[in-house]
Amino acid sequence: FFNCLSLQGLGIGGPYLKFTALNNIGIILNELRNHVNARRYLTLALKIAESEEYIFEKCHVLNNLAASFLYEGRIENALANYRLSYQLGYRNSFQNIVIESCLGIGQCYEIKGEYSTALSFYQRSIENIENVRNRLTSDIFMIGFGRNKLTAYQRAITIIADQYAARPSCILIEKIFNLIERARAQAFLEKVHKARISFGEITSSGPINKQQIGYKRMSELTWMLENHELLAENGIMLSNELEREEEEYARLISEMKNEGIINKEGLQKEICNISRVQAQIIDKNTALLEYFIGEKESYLIFISSNSVSLSVLAGRTEIERSIRAYLKMISDNSVEKEVGFK
């Protein structure tokens, strides 16, 4: 934070360095709940980003301004900034911007109690997340989920689960099942296939070499963010660098696909529905449990050969605490062997 203040105060460096310092100060102040001063610095950053060459940066600072208003409960101000960011991001094909702005717009409408509109924007955010994942290879997406892209899935599931609680229906529980499957499938693929790319022919060509260097740098940045105690401003700078690397990586992979260097086959898009699951259940004594662990609420879908039901469970923290206590209990030698099965 003080490094950013020093850079800004000295007035050294080009416009991009000044923008980065002002934007990062604004983000830090926002996290410290000093929203008025946060917006003062973010507004200064926005003035620098008015140039055509800084449209991407302008979108980010608009999202940051919107988040500041959202934290204060000034929903209309937040909506105005998120919408402008969304329009610019959509017009310029900045899918990360569209993902974040749609998520923010959805949160605003959810607070306003306009749940159908909120859900439509969460779904738009999810569609862009999955479009990016299907357009690129799976290695980059582990990084994306590491930065909490699951929030859109979670909020969409919560809204539909509330609708189901008020009026249970097969259509609603199918929608919940579909979203849970999509979120779990994406997260699983990111972890398992993080460096698998289907090349037509592996060579030492320039684009492939750039792709490998880019992936290595993104992996390094992700490791640094996840495994080190960082000062707030250093973490923000690393996150900014990671996002720039992702955008460049996205552009490079798109070019490689157009040139035939990378196989254009996407990931399997089809999600198995509940009826197909039920058809594969062998007898009436067998059931499938499908779950989603959320921060505030978790969801369990119980599927048997002839029925399906939804249960709302506790959030992640409470579940993890209970599991630790349970594992300690069953591992205690003084406990009867049968205790874990009761």
**Residues contacting residue 248 through CB under 8 Å, at least 6 positions apart:** 214
Q: Encoding tokens for residue 45?
A: 């950053």
DSSP strand pairing (297-303 vs 288-292): antiparallel
Helices (H) and strands (E) in the chain, counts: 14, 3
Bridge partners of 309, per DSSP, are 302
Query: What would the pLDDT profile of 251-297 be if each residue is shown by its tens digit?
Result: 666 665 555 544 444 444 567 889 999 998 888 889 999 989 988 99
- Greatest Cα pair distance, the chain, in angstroms, is 74
SS3 220: helix
- How far apart CA 126 and CA 103 sit, in angstroms, is 9
Amino acid, single-letter form, for residue 272: C
pTM for the whole structure: 0.71
Question: Which of 300, 301, 291, 298 is CA-nearest to residue 158?
Answer: 298
Count the Cβ atoms, other than its own, within 10 Å of residue 201: 8
pLDDT at 211 over 70: no
Q: Which residue has the tokens 């199918």?
A: 174
pLDDT band at 199 (very low <50, low <70, confident <90, very high): very low
Using alpha carbons, select from 310, 305, 301, 311 the residue that is nearest to residue 276.
305
Q: What is the pLDDT of residue 259?
A: 56
Phi, psi of 313, rounded to the nearest 5 degrees: -115, 180
- Cβ atoms of 133 and 188 within 8 Å: the answer is no
Q: Contact, 232 vs 123, CB < 8 A?
A: no
Mean pLDDT score of the chain: 78
Closest Cα partner for 152 from 124, 178, 184? 124
Helix, strand or coil, per DSSP, at residue 294: coil
Specify the length of the chain in residues.
Answer: 342
Q: How many CB atoms lie within 10 A of CB 148?
A: 11
**Comparing 1 with 222, which gets the higher pLDDT?**
222
- CA dist 26 and 237 (Å) reads 13
